[in-house]
Amino acid sequence: MALEIAKTVDAKGLSCPMPIVKTAQAIKDVPSGALLEVLSTDAGSTRDFAAWAKSTGNELVEQTVDGGVYRFVLRKK
Protein backbone atom coordinates (compact mmCIF):
# COMPACT_ATOMS: atom_id res chain seq x y z
CA MET A 1 0.00 0.00 0.00
CA ALA A 2 1.49 3.27 -1.05
CA LEU A 3 1.25 5.93 1.59
CA GLU A 4 0.35 9.49 0.71
CA ILE A 5 3.37 11.50 1.85
CA ALA A 6 2.61 15.16 2.54
CA LYS A 7 6.21 16.28 3.03
CA THR A 8 9.70 14.80 3.02
CA VAL A 9 12.61 15.80 5.24
CA ASP A 10 15.96 14.90 3.73
CA ALA A 11 18.28 14.62 6.73
CA LYS A 12 20.78 12.34 5.00
CA GLY A 13 24.34 13.01 6.11
CA LEU A 14 23.27 15.06 9.13
CA SER A 15 24.39 14.11 12.62
CA CYS A 16 22.47 14.08 15.85
CA PRO A 17 20.44 16.08 16.77
CA MET A 18 19.69 17.69 13.40
CA PRO A 19 17.43 14.91 11.96
CA ILE A 20 15.15 15.29 15.00
CA VAL A 21 15.38 19.09 15.00
CA LYS A 22 14.52 19.28 11.29
CA THR A 23 11.65 16.84 11.78
CA ALA A 24 10.23 18.89 14.65
CA GLN A 25 10.36 22.00 12.48
CA ALA A 26 8.89 20.30 9.39
CA ILE A 27 5.96 18.66 11.15
CA LYS A 28 4.57 22.13 11.84
CA ASP A 29 3.91 22.52 8.08
CA VAL A 30 1.92 19.28 7.87
CA PRO A 31 -1.81 19.13 8.67
CA SER A 32 -3.03 16.86 11.45
CA GLY A 33 -3.36 13.25 10.28
CA ALA A 34 -1.02 13.73 7.30
CA LEU A 35 2.22 11.83 6.81
CA LEU A 36 5.74 13.17 7.08
CA GLU A 37 8.61 11.18 5.63
CA VAL A 38 12.14 11.50 7.02
CA LEU A 39 15.30 10.14 5.40
CA SER A 40 18.38 9.81 7.59
CA THR A 41 21.76 8.14 7.59
CA ASP A 42 22.32 8.64 11.32
CA ALA A 43 22.59 5.21 12.93
CA GLY A 44 21.15 6.55 16.17
CA SER A 45 17.94 7.49 14.34
CA THR A 46 16.09 4.21 14.91
CA ARG A 47 15.97 4.76 18.62
CA ASP A 48 15.70 8.51 18.44
CA PHE A 49 12.61 8.59 16.24
CA ALA A 50 10.81 6.03 18.40
CA ALA A 51 11.55 8.21 21.44
CA TRP A 52 10.56 11.38 19.60
CA ALA A 53 7.24 9.89 18.44
CA LYS A 54 6.41 8.74 21.96
CA SER A 55 7.31 12.06 23.51
CA THR A 56 5.45 14.24 21.00
CA GLY A 57 2.46 11.93 20.51
CA ASN A 58 2.96 11.65 16.75
CA GLU A 59 2.74 8.13 15.36
CA LEU A 60 5.68 6.27 13.84
CA VAL A 61 3.79 4.50 11.05
CA GLU A 62 6.62 2.85 9.19
CA GLN A 63 10.32 2.38 9.54
CA THR A 64 12.52 0.90 6.81
CA VAL A 65 16.19 0.76 5.95
CA ASP A 66 17.65 0.65 2.48
CA GLY A 67 21.38 0.68 1.86
CA GLY A 68 22.19 2.58 5.02
CA VAL A 69 19.37 5.11 4.56
CA TYR A 70 16.72 4.99 7.23
CA ARG A 71 13.22 6.02 6.26
CA PHE A 72 10.63 6.98 8.83
CA VAL A 73 6.99 7.72 8.11
CA LEU A 74 5.31 9.73 10.83
CA ARG A 75 1.64 10.62 11.16
CA LYS A 76 1.00 13.99 12.76
CA LYS A 77 -1.34 13.77 15.72
Partner 1 sequence: MTQTIDHPVDIAGRSVDQVPEVFPEHTHEPPAPRDVLLICYSGELEKTWATMILASTSAAMGVKTRVFVTFWGLQLFVKDSKRITGQNWMQKMMSFMQRPGISHRKLSKMNFLGMGPWMMFKLAKQHNVASPKELLEAAQLMGVEFIPCQMTMDMFGLTRDDLIDGMGEPVGAATVIGLMSEGSAPLFI
For the bound state, the minimum distance from the C-beta of residue 6 to partner 1, rounded and expressed in Å, comes to 19
CB nearer to partner 1: give 5 or 51.
51
Judged by CB under 8 A, does residue 5 bind partner 1? no
Helices marked H in the chain: 18-26, 45-56
Query: Contact with partner 1 (CB under 8 A): which of 17, 30, 39, 61?
Result: 17
End-to-end distance of the chain based on CA atoms, in angstroms?
A: 21
Q: Is 16 a catalytic residue?
A: yes
> Residue 17, preceding bond cis, omega within 30 degrees?
yes
- Give the residue numbers marked as catalytic: 16
